[in-house]
Amino acid sequence: MTDSTVSRQENSPKKPNDSNGEFKRLLLPETSDPEEDDERRESPPENQILNVEEEEARDKTYDTVPPFSWAKLWKFTGPGFLMSIAFLDPGNIEGDLQAGAVAGYSLLWLLLWATLMGLLMQLLSARIGVVTGRHLAEICRNEYPSWARILLWFMAEVALIGADIQEVIGSAIALQILTRGFLPIWVGVIITSFDCFLISYLEKCGMRKLEGLFAVLIATMAVSFAWMFNETKPSVEELFIGIIVPKLGSKTIREAVGVVGCVITPHNVFLHSALVQSRKTDPKMINRVQEALNYYTIESTAALFVSFMINLFVTAVFAKGFYGTKQADSIGLVNAGHYLQEKYGGGVFPILYIWGIGLLAAGQSSTITGTYAGQFIMEGFLDLQMEQWLSAFITRSFAIVPTMIVALMFNTSEGSLDVLNEWLNILQSMQIPFAVIPLLTMVSKEHIMGVFKIGPSLEKLAWTVAVFVMMINGYLLLDFFMAEVAGFFVGFLVFVGIVGYISFIIYLVSYRSSQSSSWSSLEMSQRVVSTET
């Protein structure tokens, strides 16, 4: 005879000896009267009595993952492609073109491995969202003390503002290119700012409409940059050698740091854990949770493969056109289109405008996802409940106001915008630990993840990747501050800031959240079903 036992996770009540009775009690509807509930347990209706075969069949629903289905994969497709936009924003595009112009094809191997590292972090973000039914900002609100939660929210907002300034400026530059200089940067910023209302409208129409818009924008980028790749005809042989053979020279370290530093975007870590919840998965059913994780793994991998190819196209185009030339050290978003036009001419479709279309798609898609991420970050950390349009407007204002100031202060000269972009990269790099450390901490906690907490091997790999990325960005920070900081007073302020910064990182790494969390996987009633013969 086979007895099925139902055991809960750590800190759960001890299971009773009568496993059949306990299983039937789990199936009975709840009542507010304890005496009535006891009577119902003693004499359950005939149709609620499970025999051994029925009980075993019910047990299997927790153990067996449904077979793969293309139709089901299509239903889960969407969140990963929205997440992949962060790998294609104007900041990444500028990093790609500079890497190609300065290092040629030699850093393509690093682009591939950086994309794989980013994929690992995004899969962990999706994992925590599916398993818990809440996104990372909400989990941080419940797990950390108030002061730490507020500080984490502030850091996430700072990173988001930095990314959004780059994205909006990128869109404004694209609009200036496509209008032949008619629209100044500040007008492009205003036009781009209205995407918050587009988000509100598409959300009301359904998540699929929003995902459809991003599919069009990603396709636009792919076609535009693939067209440029075909027009410029980079060396396929050198391209494959660059992907396969690792090579790093002293003159390309800065570009290599830029390639790795772009793989993890702080707001994107929070975003993906929220996006996966657009597909409802019953957290009580372990097999359904595992099924969702399987499909999201496939979908996210496919999405980042597309983003990798787009980044590769951009890098190869500028490696072919400008590696070893006098323009290599001065090329950026502002002048890249004009350099391409001078190098390859007009043709039926002038390459300048193809570049502008691709850049506009990259900028517009990333500003929309940035606004979307800002809503989850603000509502999750601060527990705010408000109308969708108001939330989008407030989130957008956080980024648009400083962006407008920047657009008016900085003209479109190459030097000023390059300096601005460098400062923004530093700003975002500083915030990476405050997204990655909470993610890795929470995803390894059994009282949060239950049976889906990551194992020791995956945990070590994830921390290795995180530490590597943080060290790379630490090098970038050190190099930047050594070059830019001058004077005792400024140096002292920077020193105090660094001490506080490192202290908070140490706190996050050493922090152990309370096992008596206000909510946990126990409250989601995940069960571990075991069958003993």
C-alpha to C-alpha distance for 19 and 235, rounded to whole angstroms: 67
C-alpha to C-alpha distance for 121 and 467, rounded to whole angstroms: 12
Q: Give the model's pLDDT for residue 420.
A: 73
C-alpha to C-alpha distance for 417 and 407, rounded to whole angstroms: 9
The residue with tokens 């500079």 is: 98
Q: Taking each helix axis from N to C terminus, what angle separates 433-443 and 414-431, rounded to the nearest 10 degrees?
A: 30
Query: CB–CB of 316/227 below 8 Å?
Result: no
Q: Give the model's pLDDT for residue 490.
A: 78
The residue with tokens 């205003």 is: 190
Residue type (1 letter), 70: W
Exposure string (b/e) for 455-465, b if CB count within 10 Å is 16 or more? eeebeeebeeb
C-alpha to C-alpha distance for 429 and 511, rounded to whole angstroms: 22
What torsion do the CA atoms of 243, 248, 251, 253 make, to the nearest 10 degrees?
90
Q: Give the model's pLDDT for residue 526.
A: 43
Q: Give the model's pLDDT for residue 532.
A: 37
Q: What is the tally of helices (H) and strands (E) in the chain?
A: 24, 2
Beta-carbon neighbour count of residue 467 at 10 Å? 13
C-alpha to C-alpha distance for 225 and 411, rounded to whole angstroms: 27
Q: Give the model's pLDDT for residue 159.
A: 87
**pLDDT tens sequence for the chain (533 residues):** 444 443 434 443 344 444 444 433 433 334 444 444 444 444 444 444 444 444 444 444 556 888 889 999 999 999 999 999 989 888 889 888 988 999 899 999 999 999 999 999 999 999 999 999 899 999 999 999 999 999 999 999 888 888 888 888 888 889 888 888 788 887 888 887 777 666 667 667 777 888 888 899 999 999 999 999 998 899 899 999 999 998 887 777 778 877 877 777 888 999 999 999 888 887 778 888 999 999 999 999 999 999 999 999 999 999 998 998 888 888 888 888 888 888 887 667 788 899 999 999 998 888 888 888 888 898 889 887 777 667 667 766 776 777 777 767 665 555 566 667 767 777 787 888 999 999 999 999 988 998 999 999 999 999 998 888 888 777 777 777 777 677 778 778 888 888 888 899 999 988 865 444 444 444 444 433 333 33
Q: Which helix (H) or strand (E) holds 491?
A: helix 488-510
Q: HEC states along 388-441?
A: HHHHHHHHHHHHHHHHHHHHHHCCCCHHHHHHHHHHHHHHHHHHCHHHHHHHHH
Alpha-carbon torsion 372, 376, 379, 381, what sign?
Answer: negative
Q: Give the model's pLDDT for residue 248.
A: 82
Q: Give the model's pLDDT for residue 517.
A: 44
Query: CB–CB of 263/115 below 8 Å?
Result: yes
Query: CB–CB of 300/83 below 8 Å?
Result: yes
